[in-house]
Every structure is written in C-alpha cells, then in structure tokens.
Amino acid sequence: MLCRYASVLGVILVVYLCLGALVFHNIEHPKEAEVRDNQLSSIKEFMSNYSCLSPAELDLFIRKAMAAYKQGVLVTTNTTSKDNWDFFSCLLFSLTIVTTIGYGNMSPVTPGGQAFCVFYALVGIPLCGAFILNVGVKLQTPMRKLLGKVCFPEHPKIEMYLKNGLFVLVGLLMWLFLPAVVFSRVEKWTYGESLYYCVITMTTVGFGDFVPGQQANEYRQVYRVLVVVWILMGYAWLAMLLSKMTDTVVNVNNTIEDKIRPSSRKSSTDEDGESCTTTEKGTKEVKVKNEVKDMKEAKDTSMITTIL
C-alpha cells in the first residue's frame, strides 16, 4: 500500500513537471523569439550605419562585453557598475553559498577563489543548517503561545486546521508579503517583482534576476546586512513549516499503516481458519479411512475364522 502511495506521488510529480514545462514554454518562448529578432535587427542597423566595422570585430566586442557582464562588471561611456567584491557584497555572497540560494549574479573566477568556495560550502552548509534548525526550535515558543489561544476542544480537527492555517498565514505575512513591500520601496521594483523575489529566495531557487542592494546609495551596506538577517530568519520559519509538513506526512503514513494492519490480520486469521478447517477435514478423512481399514481387517479375520 505504501509503495502504491509513493508511486502515485511520483506520477503526480512527473505530470506537474510536464505541466510546468508546457506553461513556461508557451509564456516565455514568444518573448524570447521577439527579443532575438529585435537584437538581430539592431545589429543589422548598426552595421549599415557603421560599415567601417567588420562583423567579426563587432562580434568580438560584444563577446568581451558579455564576459565582463557575467562577472558583474558593466562599463559604458556614461556609467560604471558598483564594486561587487566589497565586504558587504561578499557577506551576501557568502550567505548565498551556505544557504544554497546561489543567485548566480556573481561567482569566483580565480582558481584560489573557486577552491576556497568549495571548502567554504562543504563546511558552511551543514553549519548554516544546524543554526537554522536551532533558531526554528526557539521560534516555536512564541508561535505556540500564539496558537495556544486558538482552542476548540469540542472540534479537535477544526482546531488543528485553524492552528496550521494561522501558522502559515503569520509566516507568509512576516517573511513574504511585508518584506515585498519594503523591497518594492527600496529597490523600485513592482510589488509583483518583489513578491516574486521573496518567494524565489525563500525557496532557495535563486535565479539571480533580482538581487537586492545592487544600486549605489549611502545605506547600501546596512541594507545588505538587514537582507542577510531577513533570509536567515525566513529560513528558520521555513524549517518549522517543513517540520510541520513532515509530521503531517508521517501521520498520514501511520494512518495508512493502521488501516492496513487490521485487514492483514483479518486475512491471516481467515487463512488460519481455513488451514484449521483443512486440517480437521484431513484428520477426519484419515480417521474414517482407518476405521474402514479396521472393519475390513475384522471382516477378513472373521471370514478366515469361519473357514477354519
């Protein structure tokens, strides 16, 4: 039964992945094709206006600019990007390593930096996981006090649903919806983009298309430290949520096992009863055969005696 339950979940997951691929393809692919066509038109127009520049030279220039941009450096005749490897930027980068977010907007390019990143990740990820779990345990105390005010002794199922719903709602407000308002004001993003960033960060997906603190301002360092605190506390809440989800799954599995055991016991009892009945039938048949054999022997003995 449990294998069947896992198989059903696996099928649902595969269908869910295929559905996501289909939706993303239909939504994003037309935009990609449009951007590609516009870029090709821009290159052709540029080449027609500046015929002295060969296509190979233009291609080389674009590739160099893209290589610099992948390393987080953007330089034009009017603007220059802020340094990415200052201390507070590195602090946020270190957080993305130990929390496995991995925004991808910056990464070490030197052999020494890459080697240190490997060692840093192997040590930091378990350390960060242990810290988040312990903070999650500490956060359970105020949450229990809050959830303890919800009491419906006559309806335990309704009470359980309300407590779980309140727990999720409080977490969504504190770590997703309210931070999205702050990010929309500070980063000048739309609220939808800010909420999208919060969800992508809290789920450790970390695409890197939106990264806080990229704009240069006087509060950039303090702002990035607050972002680090928000991510750590949000992960602690996520750890509590996953713990509750795990408990729910365990309870469901226990319920399924409890339903399986009586039926298996019943079937085994039926089998025992059938075996007992079969044994009794076999015993009776043997007894009857022995009686018939004894009667035949007695009859034969009497016949021999009569003949004699």
3-class state of residue 302 by DSSP: helix
Q: What is the mean pLDDT of the chain?
A: 79
Q: What does the pLDDT look like over 20-43, one tens digit per residue?
A: 999 999 999 999 999 999 988 988
pTM beyond 0.85: the answer is: no
Can you tell me the mean pLDDT for 236-247?
81
pLDDT at res. 302: 40
As given in the structure block, the two tokens for residue 126 are 């378990």
What pLDDT does residue 263 have? 57
CA distance 218 to 215: 10
pLDDT at 298: 45
Better-scored residue on pLDDT, 143 or 279 = 143
Quick one: pLDDT at residue 299?
41
- DSSP 8-state code for residue 153: T
Q: Give the per-residue pLDDT at 168.
A: 86
Mean pLDDT of 234-262: 77
Q: Identify the CA nearest to 225 among candidates 242, 234, 212.
A: 212
Instruction: Name the helix (H) or strand (E) containing 36.
Output: helix 2-49
Q: Angle at CA 169, nearest 5°, toward 143 and 194?
A: 120
The answer, yes or no, to whether residue 129 has pLDDT greater than 50, is yes
User: How many residues does this entry show for the chain?
Assistant: 308
State residue 303's pLDDT score: 36
Q: Dihedral through CA 175, CA 179, CA 183, CA 185, nearest 10?
A: 170
Of 58-67, 90-99, 193-202, 268-277, the range with the lowest mean pLDDT is: 268-277
Q: What is the DSSP letter of 76?
A: -
Distance in angstroms (rounded) separating the CA atoms of residues 196 and 198 = 6
Burial 50-80 (b: 16+ CB within 10 A, else e): eeeeeeeeeeeeeeeeeeeeeebeeeeeeee
Q: Which candidate, 147, 177, 172, places its Cα nearest to that of 160?
A: 147
Letter string b/e over residues 231-242, b meaning 16 or more CB atoms within 10 A of that residue's CB: bbbbbbbbbbbe
Work out the percent of the chain whose per-residue pLDDT is above 90: 25
Give the pLDDT score at 273: 52
Examine the pLDDT at 274 and tell me if it is beyond 60: no
Residue 58 and residue 52 in contact, taking contact as beta carbons nearer than 8 Å: no
